[in-house]
Amino acid sequence: MSKKNLIESQASLIEGIPQVGKPVRIVGIDPGGTTGFVLVEIDWEKEKLVVVESQQLGPHPHHDELYEVLTLANPEVIVCESFEYRNVARAGLVLDSVEYIGVTKLYEQVYSEGGVQLVFQTAALGKVQHGRGLVKPANIRNLGLWSVSSVHAIDALGHVLYYLITKYKSEPLVLQLLEKGWR
């Protein structure tokens, strides 16, 4: 099978994911009282990943700011940390992340005809700081991406990297990332 056919077949297997070969903008979101945001551009042909923007929103209420940065980023894919309530109330329990996930869902609904796809991942898959997931601080340092602006933005980047590695694992760019970041 030729490289072109392989790429086309892989892309068609994953419904809703932008075609490999076309540049794509992916936003990662770590929602909460302080929300991490990262915008990554992928150029499949040049085999290049660039962190265009990273920031932390909050700790003040930032629903409108989140919607605005999503609108300005104009992504094809949003990878957002999900929320799992385990039906256990405890002192200090804060449910802010649910509100910011709602803002993200609203953006996806408004712009879904434009082709935006919203992907959710559990916290365990994208959290970088805890060092228990696939993406660890050393991986991001090895990739030269540690300059991301905040702890929460680094976790948002962790979600994007996990998404890329699991959805596009045989693409040359992802293989390069794995070779460089996970050596």
- pLDDT tens sequence across 108-146: 999 878 789 999 999 889 888 777 789 999 999 999 988
Structural domain spans, the chain: 18-82+95-181
Owner of token pair 């905040």: 150
Is the pLDDT score of 10 beyond 70?
no
Classify 18-82+95-181 by CATH class: alpha beta
Q: What is the pLDDT of residue 19?
A: 57
pTM: 0.85
Instruction: pLDDT band for 20, please (50, 70, 90 cuts).
Output: low
Residue 52: per-residue pLDDT: 94
To which H or E segment does residue 52 belong?
strand 48-57
One-letter amino acid at 41 equals E
- pLDDT given at position 7: 36
**Would you call 152 helix, strand, or coil by DSSP?**
helix
